[in-house]
């Protein structure tokens, strides 16, 4: 049986086809739907996985992901809560991550915004490959994210965003750290926390991705769907590399198999 994946798109979404290809390559069955169709149906019971891909939804005219987050809050809050409570998986990539935090899906699924992804410290659009650590920091609990199962401790993925700086007040940030929800961090080649350009946006605590307490809901700024094959990486000839991004999608499909 192949799990059904709902890929949500709207005006300005531009990574939907790549996300669909990644899930299909991992063995899933996909449905690519416009947000208006989803609002009209208002039912996620046919799906096991929901993906919000990257891009610039509605041109990011009111801030990255803001308009689409309001659509989730005012039209889809109840049905989305039921979907996650029943064991569904969810991933938000780049603009999808921005939508999820502004909806309040992450970090606590209470539909109250507690963190944000704001303008890069550099003041410019950052389009580069980065190193990411999947290893917890000393003293933290470890959320076992389904999406990161059997992932190497150091991976490389591309980023492409103008508003990717993870920001929260100290109490929320401390809670995320204490719960072990910061599952991806920007690092150098030796897995050490590093500044710009290795941390491309100035994210607090070098956070590149977080998940909920259950480990089933993941949001991240880097693009796993853009690193499906080994030769996608600029390091594929000179250094050991692989299509690390595909593992995210294989893990999600394997969870239901």
Q: What angle do CA 178, 144, 94 make, to 5 degrees?
A: 85
78 is catalytic: no
- CA distances to 95, 104, 241, 243, 244 from 234, rounded to whole Å, are 23, 35, 9, 11, 13
Altogether, the residues listed in the chain come to a count of: 257
- Helix 16-25 crosses helix 244-256 at what angle (to 10 degrees)? 60
pLDDT at 142: 66
Residue 165 near residue 202, CB atoms below 8 Å: yes
Which CATH number covers residue 24?
3.40.50.880
140 is catalytic: no
- In the block, which residue shows the tokens 């491309």? 200
Count of other CB atoms within 10 angstroms of residue 127: 11
Q: And the tokens for 78?
A: 């109840």
Q: Which of 211, 223, 227, 232 is catalytic?
A: 223
Domain that holds residue 168: 4-256
Q: Which of 161, 163, 225, 232 is catalytic?
A: 225
What total number of domains does the chain contain? 1
pLDDT at 141: 60
Of 120, 206, 116, the C-alpha closest to 162 is 120
CA distance 137 to 134: 10
CA distance 102 to 145: 21
223 is catalytic: yes
pLDDT at 144: 81
- Give, for all 257 residues of the chain, the pLDDT tens digit: 899 999 999 999 999 999 999 999 999 999 999 999 999 999 999 999 999 999 999 999 999 999 999 999 999 999 999 999 999 999 999 999 999 999 999 999 999 999 999 999 999 999 999 999 998 765 456 668 999 999 999 999 999 999 999 999 999 999 999 999 999 999 999 999 999 999 999 999 999 999 999 999 999 999 999 999 988 888 777 666 678 999 999 999 999 97
Burial of 13 per CB tally in 10 Å (0-12, 13-18, 19+): buried
CA distance 176 to 231: 35
Show the DSSP H helices in the chain as ranges. Answer: 16-25, 35-41, 66-75, 77-85, 95-103, 170-179, 244-256
pLDDT at 126: 98
pLDDT at 1: 82
Q: Which of 94, 161, 163, 232 is catalytic?
A: 94
pLDDT at 116: 98
pTM score, two decimals? Answer: 0.95
């Amino acid at each position: 049986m192949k799990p059904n994946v709902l890929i949500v798109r709207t005006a300005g979404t531009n990574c939907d086809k790549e996300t669909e290809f990644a899930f299909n390559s991992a063995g899933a069955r996909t449905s690519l739907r416009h947000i208006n169709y989803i609002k009209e149906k208002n039912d996620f019971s046919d799906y096991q996985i929901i993906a919000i891909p990257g891009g610039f939804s509605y041109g990011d005219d009111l801030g990255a992901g803001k308009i689409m987050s309001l659509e989730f809050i005012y039209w889809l809050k109840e049905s989305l809560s039921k979907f996650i409570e029943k064991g569904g998986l969810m991933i938000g990539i780049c603009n999808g991550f921005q939508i999820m935090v502004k909806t309040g899906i992450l970090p606590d699924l209470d539909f109250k915004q507690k963190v944000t992804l704001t303008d890069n410290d550099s003041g410019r659009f950052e389009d580069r490959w980065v190193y990411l650590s999947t290893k917890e920091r000393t003293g933290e609990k470890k959320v076992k994210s389904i999406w990161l199962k059997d992932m190497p401790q150091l991976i490389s993925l591309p980023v492409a965003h103008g508003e990717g700086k993870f920001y929260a007040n100290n109490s929320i940030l401390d809670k995320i750290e204490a719960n072990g929800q910061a599952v991806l961090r920007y690092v150098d080649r030796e897995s050490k926390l590093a500044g710009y350009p290795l941390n491309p946006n100035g994210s607090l605590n070098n956070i590149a991705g977080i998940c909920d307490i259950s480990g089933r809901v993941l949001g991240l700024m880097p693009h796993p769907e853009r690193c499906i094959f080994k030769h996608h990486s600029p390091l594929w000839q000179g250094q050991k590399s692989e299509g690390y991004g595909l593992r995210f999608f294989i893990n999600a499909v394997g969870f239901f198999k």
